[in-house]
A and B are shown apart, each in its own frame.
Chain A
Amino acid sequence: MTDTNRASPAPDARSAVDAIVSLQGVVAADEAGPDGTSLGSIRGLDLVLGAGLHLVLGRPHDGTAALIEVLAGDRTPRSGRVRIDGRDPARSASLRRRIGVLGSRVELVGTTVADAVRAASIVRRSAADALERLELTYLAPRTLASLSQAEARAVELALALAVPRPLLLALFEPSLACAISRESFCERLRAIATEGAVIVIATSSPAESFGLPLTAWLLDGGRLAGGASGPLHGQGELVVWLTDADGSAARKLAAALGTRPELTLVAWQQRAHESTSVVTVGAPELELAALAIAEVASALATPIVAIRPRANDLDGLLATARATATAHIHATATAQIHAPATAQIHAPATAPSHASQAP
C-alpha cells in the first residue's frame, strides 16, 4: 500500500498570533431545534482565531450551531468569555455591525426579500446591493414566505457577505444556501479574507475547501477534538473503484497519481474477494483531483468503475481524533508512571488529530 503524507505543523489552539476572536471556557447551548430546543452545545471551548478562513467541522449536536450563535452575539454564553476584537458581541451593537452571520435558522425582517434588504441597508448601507453582488436580484420581489430554504439562506448569506469592514463572518453550513453560485461565494470570501477578517465556517462536510487556504478544527461533543492541538488541515477525499483482480491496476494508478502535485494523499487497497481495488485520493480541490484521476486513468487505460467523494467523512475524522486523543491520554498516563523517555516515544510529536494533510 502506498501512502503519501505531507504533514505540516499545526497551529496551536491557544497561541494564534494577532488573534481577533477568542473564546475562553465557553459553555453554551444552541436554540436551533424546533420550538427553540437545543440541538447541541459547546462545553468549555477554548479557541483563538486570527484572520483567515477557519473551517469548524462537526455536526450541530457537536456544538457547531451553538458556536455560530455565540460568535454572532445572539446571546451571552452560560459561562466563559467571548471576545471579538476585545469586545463581547452579545453586548456591543457596534461590534455586531461588523459581523456577518448565517445562522442555523433564517432570520430576516420584512415581508419580501426587497424589504429584508432595505431593513438591513438602513443599519448597514453596504447591504443595499447585496443581492446584485451575488446575482440574486431575481429574488427581490419574492415574499419571504415563498422562498425555499436554500433561497432564504442565500439571501441571508448575501446580507452576511455585505457587511462593511468585516471583523468576522460566522457562517453555518453555507453550502446549504445553494441558490448562490459557488464561484461568486468563493470570490466574495476571498475578498473578505484579504481585508483581514476572520471567517468561521461551521460545517459537517470536510470536503468544503472554498479555494482558500484554511485551518480546520474538529468539534466533537462540544469540545475541540484533540484538545489544544486540535486543528486539522482540511481537504477532501475522492474514492476511486477499479475492476482489478490482482491489484496491479490500482498499484500503477496510485504510483502515477503520487507524482501529481495537486494531490496530497494517495492510498490504495485491494479487495480480492470482490475483484476490485479502491484508490483513495486526498486533495484541497476535489475538482482538480478528479481531473487528475481522469487524466492518469485515461493514459494508463485503467478500468475505473466509479469515482465519488468520500461520504460521511466526518465520522472518519472524528474516529481518528478520538483514537488519537485516547492514545494521547494513554501516553500521558504512561509518562507519569514511567521515565520521561517513554513519554517521548508515545506522545505525538505534532498535532495528534491530523486525519489528512494539506501541502
Chain B
Amino acid sequence: MMLPTRPLGLVAFALGARLAWQNIGMRRLILGLCLLGLALPGVAPIAQLFAAHSIDETVGVAFGVAMPLVAFAVVRAATGGERLDRALVAITRLGASRRLAAVGLIACAALCSFVVVAPPLTAALALAHRGGPDLASDALRSGLVLLLGSFAYSTLLVLGASAWKKGRAAWLVLLLDYLLGDGATAISAPFPRAHVTSLGGGDALMSLSQKGSSVALVLLTLVTLLWLFSRLPD
C-alpha cells in the first residue's frame, strides 16, 4: 500500500492533535459547553458582587474565571490525566517528534477550550450590552480575546502537565494564575488571567492598552512554548 510522503513535523503535529481530540471527545466538549452555559448566569452576579463595578468589569471577571477553569479541564482531558511525556508515548514510540506532537495537543486543547467558552461568554456579553450598536464588533473582539486566552492557558497548563507525577504541576499553575494573576501590578504580568480580564473589560494591567495586553498574551504563549520545549526532549 503506497502512502503519500508527508513532512514528519506536520505528521507529529497532526498526531498530537488527534490524540488530544481522541481523549477529549465530542461528548465531553458538548457537556462542557452545556455546563458553562448553565453556570455562567450564576458566575456573573457573583463576580459583580465581589469585584466588578460595571457590566464590562463583570464580563472581564467572568472571562478571567471561566477561561482558566475550562482550559484546565480540557488540558487534563487531552493528556488523559497523565504527565505530558507519558500522554504522548503512543505517538513518540512511532518516531514522531515529542515537541511537535505537544504543539498539536496544545492547538487541539486550545481550540476545544475556545469552542466551550466562546458561545456562552459571547452570549453573556450580548446580554450585558442588551443588543447595543457595537455588539458585533464587541463579539468579534471577545472572540479574539478568548482565542488568544485559550492558546495562552493551554500552553501554560500543558507546561504544568509536563512536571510532577501525572502532570499535577498543572494544578499549581492554575492556583498561581488564580492567586497572582488577579491584579493590576507587575506580579500579575506573567499570568494570562491578568491580560484576559483586562481584555474582557476588567482592570487594565499596569495601564497596558488592549493592544498591549493582546501582544502580551501572544508573547506569553511563545515564551511558555519555548520553556516547554526546553523541558521536553524531542
Contact = CB atoms under 8 A, between A and B. Distances in A.
Interface of A: 31, 35-36, 72-76, 88, 90-99, 101, 103, 107-111, 119-125, 128-129, 159
Interface in B70-112: 82-83, 85-86, 89-98
Contacts of B165: 36
Main secondary structure of the interface of B (DSSP, over half): helix
Contacts of B2: 125
Nearest to B14: A122
Contact of A122 (B1, B6, B234): B6
Given A122-B6, A123-B8, A129-B1, A93 B98 contact: yes
B49 interface: no
Interface stretch (B15-23, B34-42, B219-227): B15-23
B76 to A, nearest CB: 14
A119 B93 contact: no
A121 B3 contact: yes
A101 B2 CA distance: 24
Give 10 closest A-B pairs by Cβ, nearest first: A97-B95, A107-B90, A128-B1, A91-B233, A96-B95, A123-B94, A93-B97, A109-B90, A107-B89, A101-B93
A159 B93 CA distance: 11
Given A90-B233, A91-B233, A110-B22, A72 B15 contact: no
Chain B residues touching A, range: 20 to 34
Given A92-B234, A96-B92, A96-B95, A125 B3 contact: yes
A110 B166 CA distance: 22
22 contacts: A36-B83, A36-B165, A74-B93, A90-B233, A91-B233, A93-B92, A93-B96, A93-B97, A96-B95, A98-B95, A109-B15, A109-B18, A109-B19, A119-B18, A119-B94, A121-B1, A122-B3, A122-B15, A123-B8, A123-B94, A123-B96, A125-B3
Contact of B86 (A31, A91, A124, A125): A31
B125 interface: no
B180 interface: no
Contacts of B14: 122
Contacts of A36: 82-83, 86, 165-166
Contacts of A88: 233
A119 B86 contact: no
B189 interface: no
Nearest to A88: B233
Contacts of A128: 1, 3
Given A36-B86, A119-B18, A129-B1, A93 B95 contact: yes
A163 to B, nearest CB: 8
